[in-house]
Amino acid sequence: MSMIEIRNISKWYGQFQVLTDCSTQVDKGEVVVVCGPSGSGKSTLIKCVNGLEPFQKGDVIVDGFSVGAAKTDLPKLRARVGMVFQHFELFPHMSIIENLSIAQTKVLGRTHEEARDKALKLLDRVGLKAHASKFPGEMSGGQQQRVAIARALAMDPICMLFDEPTSALDPEMINEVLDVMVELAKEGMTMMVVTHEMGFARKVAHRVIFMDAGQIVEDAAKEDFFGKPRSERAQHFLSKIL
Protein backbone atom coordinates (compact mmCIF):
# COMPACT_ATOMS: atom_id res chain seq x y z
CA MET A 1 0.00 0.00 0.00
CA SER A 2 1.24 3.48 -0.82
CA MET A 3 1.91 5.75 2.13
CA ILE A 4 2.49 8.72 -0.19
CA GLU A 5 0.97 8.95 -3.62
CA ILE A 6 1.84 11.94 -5.81
CA ARG A 7 -0.64 12.10 -8.66
CA ASN A 8 0.06 14.30 -11.66
CA ILE A 9 1.11 17.36 -9.67
CA SER A 10 1.65 20.60 -11.57
CA LYS A 11 2.47 23.87 -9.88
CA TRP A 12 3.11 27.43 -10.99
CA TYR A 13 4.67 30.41 -9.26
CA GLY A 14 2.82 33.11 -11.17
CA GLN A 15 3.66 32.45 -14.84
CA PHE A 16 6.57 30.16 -14.03
CA GLN A 17 5.77 26.46 -14.04
CA VAL A 18 7.87 24.93 -11.29
CA LEU A 19 6.43 21.37 -11.42
CA THR A 20 5.10 19.61 -14.49
CA ASP A 21 2.90 16.53 -14.16
CA CYS A 22 4.91 14.81 -11.41
CA SER A 23 3.75 11.37 -10.31
CA THR A 24 5.30 8.81 -8.02
CA GLN A 25 4.49 6.83 -4.92
CA VAL A 26 6.26 5.80 -1.76
CA ASP A 27 5.16 2.55 -0.18
CA LYS A 28 5.06 1.91 3.54
CA GLY A 29 8.60 1.23 4.74
CA GLU A 30 10.15 2.43 1.52
CA VAL A 31 13.05 4.90 1.30
CA VAL A 32 13.05 7.09 -1.80
CA VAL A 33 15.90 9.49 -2.52
CA VAL A 34 15.17 12.55 -4.66
CA CYS A 35 18.11 14.17 -6.45
CA GLY A 36 18.67 16.55 -9.32
CA PRO A 37 20.25 19.90 -10.11
CA SER A 38 19.64 23.00 -8.04
CA GLY A 39 16.37 24.67 -9.03
CA SER A 40 14.85 21.48 -10.47
CA GLY A 41 11.90 21.56 -8.04
CA LYS A 42 12.94 19.03 -5.39
CA SER A 43 12.09 21.24 -2.40
CA THR A 44 8.84 22.34 -3.98
CA LEU A 45 7.77 18.75 -4.67
CA ILE A 46 8.53 17.58 -1.15
CA LYS A 47 6.70 20.57 0.34
CA CYS A 48 3.62 19.68 -1.72
CA VAL A 49 3.53 16.32 0.07
CA ASN A 50 2.49 17.85 3.37
CA GLY A 51 0.70 20.84 1.90
CA LEU A 52 3.36 23.40 2.83
CA GLU A 53 3.14 24.53 -0.80
CA PRO A 54 -0.19 24.60 -2.62
CA PHE A 55 -0.39 23.11 -6.12
CA GLN A 56 -2.81 23.88 -8.95
CA LYS A 57 -3.18 20.47 -10.60
CA GLY A 58 -3.16 16.89 -9.43
CA ASP A 59 -3.25 15.64 -5.85
CA VAL A 60 -1.15 14.06 -3.14
CA ILE A 61 -2.62 11.28 -1.06
CA VAL A 62 -0.93 10.66 2.28
CA ASP A 63 -2.07 7.60 4.20
CA GLY A 64 -5.36 7.74 2.28
CA PHE A 65 -5.99 11.46 2.88
CA SER A 66 -6.03 13.97 0.03
CA VAL A 67 -3.73 16.94 0.67
CA GLY A 68 -5.61 18.96 -1.96
CA ALA A 69 -9.16 18.33 -0.76
CA ALA A 70 -10.76 21.20 1.14
CA LYS A 71 -12.32 18.82 3.65
CA THR A 72 -8.96 17.40 4.77
CA ASP A 73 -7.75 18.69 8.13
CA LEU A 74 -4.34 19.75 6.83
CA PRO A 75 -2.78 20.76 10.17
CA LYS A 76 -3.77 17.38 11.57
CA LEU A 77 -2.32 15.50 8.61
CA ARG A 78 0.83 17.63 8.70
CA ALA A 79 1.35 16.82 12.36
CA ARG A 80 1.75 13.18 11.35
CA VAL A 81 4.31 13.86 8.62
CA GLY A 82 7.79 14.58 9.98
CA MET A 83 9.80 17.18 8.10
CA VAL A 84 13.49 18.00 8.46
CA PHE A 85 14.95 20.95 6.57
CA GLN A 86 18.41 22.02 5.53
CA HIS A 87 18.45 24.68 8.24
CA PHE A 88 17.47 23.05 11.48
CA GLU A 89 14.79 25.55 12.40
CA LEU A 90 14.83 24.73 16.08
CA PHE A 91 13.18 27.26 18.38
CA PRO A 92 16.25 29.27 19.48
CA HIS A 93 14.74 30.60 22.71
CA MET A 94 13.77 27.14 24.00
CA SER A 95 15.95 24.45 25.53
CA ILE A 96 16.42 21.22 23.59
CA ILE A 97 13.97 19.34 25.81
CA GLU A 98 11.39 22.11 25.31
CA ASN A 99 11.97 21.97 21.56
CA LEU A 100 11.08 18.28 21.65
CA SER A 101 8.12 18.66 24.02
CA ILE A 102 6.14 21.67 22.86
CA ALA A 103 4.26 20.17 19.92
CA GLN A 104 3.67 16.93 21.81
CA THR A 105 1.74 18.81 24.49
CA LYS A 106 0.16 21.51 22.30
CA VAL A 107 -0.78 19.42 19.26
CA LEU A 108 -1.07 15.85 20.55
CA GLY A 109 -2.34 16.73 24.02
CA ARG A 110 0.28 14.70 25.86
CA THR A 111 1.02 15.61 29.47
CA HIS A 112 4.29 17.38 30.24
CA GLU A 113 5.59 14.22 31.85
CA GLU A 114 4.72 12.02 28.86
CA ALA A 115 6.28 14.54 26.49
CA ARG A 116 9.42 14.78 28.59
CA ASP A 117 9.83 11.00 28.79
CA LYS A 118 9.42 10.65 25.06
CA ALA A 119 11.83 13.53 24.42
CA LEU A 120 14.53 12.04 26.63
CA LYS A 121 14.16 8.64 25.00
CA LEU A 122 14.58 10.16 21.54
CA LEU A 123 17.50 12.35 22.63
CA ASP A 124 19.14 9.20 23.95
CA ARG A 125 18.56 7.53 20.62
CA VAL A 126 20.34 10.31 18.70
CA GLY A 127 23.13 10.39 21.31
CA LEU A 128 22.23 13.73 22.86
CA LYS A 129 20.54 12.95 26.16
CA ALA A 130 23.24 14.79 28.11
CA HIS A 131 22.42 17.98 26.19
CA ALA A 132 18.71 18.13 27.06
CA SER A 133 18.88 21.42 28.97
CA LYS A 134 21.13 23.25 26.49
CA PHE A 135 19.89 25.79 23.97
CA PRO A 136 20.24 25.27 20.20
CA GLY A 137 22.86 28.03 19.93
CA GLU A 138 25.13 26.08 22.26
CA MET A 139 25.26 23.07 19.95
CA SER A 140 27.04 22.23 16.72
CA GLY A 141 25.16 22.07 13.41
CA GLY A 142 25.30 18.27 13.39
CA GLN A 143 23.91 18.11 16.91
CA GLN A 144 21.14 20.58 16.06
CA GLN A 145 20.14 18.55 13.05
CA ARG A 146 19.99 15.37 15.17
CA VAL A 147 17.75 17.30 17.58
CA ALA A 148 15.54 18.33 14.64
CA ILE A 149 15.18 14.68 13.63
CA ALA A 150 14.37 13.66 17.21
CA ARG A 151 11.82 16.48 17.41
CA ALA A 152 10.07 15.20 14.28
CA LEU A 153 10.10 11.64 15.65
CA ALA A 154 8.52 12.79 18.91
CA MET A 155 5.27 13.23 16.99
CA ASP A 156 5.21 9.52 16.02
CA PRO A 157 5.17 10.38 12.30
CA ILE A 158 3.77 7.97 9.75
CA CYS A 159 6.49 9.07 7.33
CA MET A 160 9.45 11.45 7.24
CA LEU A 161 10.41 14.05 4.65
CA PHE A 162 13.97 15.34 4.52
CA ASP A 163 15.10 18.29 2.43
CA GLU A 164 18.89 18.30 2.07
CA PRO A 165 19.40 17.65 5.78
CA THR A 166 23.19 17.61 5.56
CA SER A 167 23.96 20.24 2.96
CA ALA A 168 24.38 23.09 5.46
CA LEU A 169 26.73 21.07 7.66
CA ASP A 170 30.50 21.08 7.92
CA PRO A 171 31.85 17.90 6.31
CA GLU A 172 32.88 16.31 9.58
CA MET A 173 29.30 16.47 10.86
CA ILE A 174 27.56 14.95 7.89
CA ASN A 175 28.01 11.34 8.92
CA GLU A 176 26.60 11.72 12.42
CA VAL A 177 23.35 12.91 10.84
CA LEU A 178 23.36 10.33 8.05
CA ASP A 179 23.94 7.57 10.63
CA VAL A 180 20.73 8.54 12.43
CA MET A 181 18.87 8.50 9.10
CA VAL A 182 20.31 5.11 8.16
CA GLU A 183 19.11 3.67 11.48
CA LEU A 184 15.67 5.13 10.89
CA ALA A 185 15.53 3.60 7.42
CA LYS A 186 16.60 0.21 8.75
CA GLU A 187 13.82 0.34 11.33
CA GLY A 188 11.34 0.59 8.49
CA MET A 189 10.42 4.27 8.50
CA THR A 190 8.84 5.48 5.27
CA MET A 191 11.15 8.21 4.02
CA MET A 192 11.38 10.66 1.15
CA VAL A 193 14.83 12.23 1.19
CA VAL A 194 16.12 15.05 -0.99
CA THR A 195 19.88 14.64 -0.88
CA HIS A 196 23.02 14.54 -2.95
CA GLU A 197 24.61 12.05 -0.57
CA MET A 198 24.80 9.15 -2.98
CA GLY A 199 26.53 6.99 -0.35
CA PHE A 200 23.36 7.24 1.71
CA ALA A 201 21.26 6.45 -1.36
CA ARG A 202 23.34 3.39 -2.17
CA LYS A 203 23.14 2.15 1.40
CA VAL A 204 19.44 2.51 2.19
CA ALA A 205 17.36 3.80 -0.70
CA HIS A 206 14.96 1.47 -2.43
CA ARG A 207 14.33 3.90 -5.27
CA VAL A 208 15.93 7.02 -6.66
CA ILE A 209 14.00 9.83 -8.32
CA PHE A 210 15.90 12.24 -10.54
CA MET A 211 14.32 15.62 -11.25
CA ASP A 212 15.19 18.19 -13.86
CA ALA A 213 13.38 21.41 -14.77
CA GLY A 214 10.30 20.55 -12.70
CA GLN A 215 9.85 17.06 -14.05
CA ILE A 216 10.52 13.60 -12.69
CA VAL A 217 12.90 12.45 -15.38
CA GLU A 218 13.82 9.16 -13.78
CA ASP A 219 12.15 7.01 -11.12
CA ALA A 220 14.05 3.79 -10.81
CA ALA A 221 15.10 1.03 -8.45
CA LYS A 222 18.41 1.98 -6.84
CA GLU A 223 20.31 -0.74 -8.68
CA ASP A 224 19.03 0.46 -12.04
CA PHE A 225 19.68 4.11 -11.28
CA PHE A 226 23.29 3.58 -10.23
CA GLY A 227 23.82 0.82 -12.76
CA LYS A 228 22.93 2.99 -15.69
CA PRO A 229 20.41 5.78 -15.57
CA ARG A 230 18.27 5.82 -18.69
CA SER A 231 18.25 9.54 -19.30
CA GLU A 232 21.24 11.51 -20.47
CA ARG A 233 20.47 14.25 -17.98
CA ALA A 234 20.72 11.83 -15.04
CA GLN A 235 23.91 10.31 -16.45
CA HIS A 236 25.42 13.76 -16.72
CA PHE A 237 24.31 14.66 -13.18
CA LEU A 238 25.77 11.46 -11.74
CA SER A 239 29.05 11.88 -13.58
CA LYS A 240 29.46 15.28 -11.95
CA ILE A 241 28.70 14.32 -8.35
CA LEU A 242 30.16 10.81 -8.06
Chain centre distance of CA 129: 23
Does position 33 bind ligand ADP by CB under 6 A?
no
Q: Compute the least distance from the CB of residue 230 to ligand ADP, in Å.
A: 20
Please calculate the CA angle 240-217-152 and round it to the nearest 5 degrees. Answer: 85
Q: Compute the least distance from the CB of residue 90 to ligand ADP, in Å.
A: 21
> Which residues lie across from 195 on neighbouring strands?
none
N residues, the chain: 242
Q: From the list Mg ion, ligand ADP, none, which binds 44 (C-beta under 5 to 8 Å, kind-based)?
A: ligand ADP
Q: Compute the least distance from the CB of residue 184 to ligand ADP, in Å.
A: 22
SS percent in the chain: helix, strand, coil, step 5: 40, 25, 35
Burial of 66 (0-12, 13-18, 19+ CB in 10 A): middle
Does position 13 bind ligand ADP by CB under 6 A?
yes
Q: Compute the least distance from the CB of residue 128 to ligand ADP, in Å.
A: 28
Nearest to 179 by CA among 196, 192, 197: 197
CA gap 152, 82 in Å, rounded = 5
Q: From the list Mg ion, ligand ADP, none, which binds 13 (C-beta under 5 to 8 Å, kind-based)?
A: ligand ADP
One residue of 43, 101, 104, 145 binding ligand ADP per CB under 6 A: 43
Q: From the list ligand ADP, Mg ion, none, which binds 18 (C-beta under 5 to 8 Å, kind-based)?
A: ligand ADP
One residue of 4, 22, 24, 40 binding ligand ADP per CB under 6 A: 40
Which residues are within 8 A (CB) of 239 and not within 5 positions of it... i.e. 6 or more apart? Answer: none
Nearest to 135 by CA among 164, 143, 172, 152: 143
Does position 38 bind ligand ADP by CB under 6 A?
yes
Does position 145 bind ligand ADP by CB under 6 A?
no
Does position 41 bind ligand ADP by CB under 6 A?
yes
| Count of positions on this chain that bind Mg ion (CB under 5 A) | 1
CA gap 148, 43 in Å, rounded = 18
Residues in region 25-84 near Mg ion by CB under 5 A: 43
Does position 144 bind ligand ADP by CB under 6 A?
no
- Per CB under 5 A, residues contacting Mg ion are 43
